[in-house]
A = this chain, B = another copy of it.
């Protein structure tokens, strides 16, 4: 079975269209997907950045908002600009890490992206995340408790360190079984072709 890892960060704008379309593209290509939530903040902090590079470079940021809006329009996805941007995705990433790596994690992650980028919800708010979990049929109180357990916090730290060790510097990043990485929603097709060619 072909395999592909989807490394994503909840604050990342281009991770939203990626998350919404990856399952159908992976299924069509016969590729099994692993959802790998991580945090960009610690990687950015090592570069001396305290916010999104799109805020640090205003011209690039202005372009990104246009480009993501165009991308979503083409994919027929609703899109609103999160306010504030970036949203703090720490709790959502901990919950995603606490969920089984499979359909439950994928469903919750898509629900977070929809709340953030289609509905303009505040994804740092535990009540918002509890509603999303309940909407997916998960046990929200148990998962919120699991999210703040030290094992979960440590698992997310480890995932972020692993991302860095893999050479990941942004999101979404697609990682093939041989370690080849592809950065960006617009590289999904190339990544899938690479994963399939590996056999």
Contact = CB atoms under 8 A, between A and B. Distances in A.
Number of copies: 2
A122 to B, nearest CB: 29
Nearest to A163: B59
Interface string A1-17: 00000000000000000
**Of listed A47, A63, A183, residue having the most chain B CB within 10 A:** A63
Interface in A41-92: 47, 56-57, 59-60, 62-63, 66-67, 70
A181 B59 CA distance: 11
Interface string A21-57: 0000000000000000000000000010000000011
Interface of A: 47, 56-57, 59-60, 62-63, 66-67, 70, 164, 167-170, 180-183, 186-187, 190
